[in-house]
């Protein structure tokens, strides 16, 4: 008669559990710059306690790197304030008929990529929402750059004067989301319009842009000082974009100390 197996069911279960843990640790290793064969050799003889340690260490390392990346993206974005979605007042925000608030908060427009135009009077929450969405994108690992329209133009003009325009445009092009705030608050001359047009053209179907503005499309020609330039920018924005309208009184005015 053949010898009966001496392996007990509980031992088999422990071995299966150990194998699953080894597989989990090796999957983590794919995200880290380790020599996987060396790790595999070590895990072959590792005790469950040692594998538990390696598992905790790798998860801690990944969480640390992700936190560092989020902090770096938030710092590089250049947000002027730490505005968030939590507690944001949506009462005066009018979404397009074919789009819901959840589509904005989920950042689904980045997948298109699509543009968002936030239009309304000053002080109605456009910049707050644009910053909050940008910060949420950073926390999800998305590279974002925030500019006022005037600040962006001045930055590009300065880069051009220093012979660094191509480098600056390349850096801006690395962001997945651009926020261009206060479009229309300051007129842009012909040279500035051309530079801004270059940013928009480079972003077309490659990056998402959030604009905040108090000027309807019909008035963008006055902003850019060139109706043809404005028409070209509007054409690209409308093709893959949506407009969100903001209504109501200025928050700053209704909460001002000087009445």
What is the pLDDT, as a whole number, of residue 18?
80
Q: What is the pTM of this model?
A: 0.78
Q: How far, in Å, CA of 150 to CA of 247, rounded?
A: 24
Residue 246 has pLDDT above 70, yes or no: yes
Ramachandran area for residue 125 (φ above 0: left; ψ -120 to 50: alpha; else beta): left
* Torsion angle of the four alpha carbons 120, 186, 174, 162, in this order, in degrees rounded to the nearest 10: 180
The tens digit of pLDDT for each residue in 31-76 reads 777 777 888 888 888 888 888 888 888 888 888 888 889 999 999 9
pLDDT at 229: 85
What pLDDT does residue 178 have?
Answer: 98
CA 74 to chain centroid: 9
Proportion of the chain above pLDDT 90, given as a percent: 53
C-beta of residue 149 within 8 angstroms of C-beta of residue 191: no
């Amino acid at each position: 008669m053949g010898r009966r197996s001496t392996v007990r069911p509980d031992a088999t279960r422990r071995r299966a559990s150990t194998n699953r843990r080894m597989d989990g640790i090796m999957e983590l290793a794919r995200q880290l710059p380790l020599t996987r064969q060396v790790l595999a050799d070590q895990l072959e003889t590792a005790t469950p306690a040692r594998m538990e340690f390696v598992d905790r260490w790798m998860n801690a390392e990944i969480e640390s790197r992700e936190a560092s990346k989020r902090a770096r993206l938030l710092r590089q974005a250049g947000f002027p304030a730490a505005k968030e979605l939590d507690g944001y007042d949506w009462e005066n925000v009018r979404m397009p008929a074919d789009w819901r608030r959840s589509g904005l908060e989920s950042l689904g427009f980045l997948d298109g990529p699509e543009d968002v135009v936030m239009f309304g009077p000053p002080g109605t929450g456009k910049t707050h929402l644009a910053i909050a969405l940008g910060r949420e994108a950073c926390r999800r690992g998305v590279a974002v750059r925030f500019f006022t329209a005037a600040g962006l133009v001045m930055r590009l003009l300065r880069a051009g004067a220093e012979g660094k325009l191509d480098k600056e445009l390349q850096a801006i092009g690395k962001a997945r989301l651009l926020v261009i705030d206060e479009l229309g608050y300051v007129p842009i001359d012909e040279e500035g319009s051309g530079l801004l047009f270059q940013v928009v053209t480079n972003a077309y179907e490659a990056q998402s842009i959030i604009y905040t503005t108090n000027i309807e499309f019909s008035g963008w020609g006055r902003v850019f000082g060139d109706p043809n330039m404005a028409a070209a920018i509007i054409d690209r924005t409308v093709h893959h974009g949506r407009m969100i309208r903001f209504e109501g009184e200025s928050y700053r005015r209704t909460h001002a100390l000087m009445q």
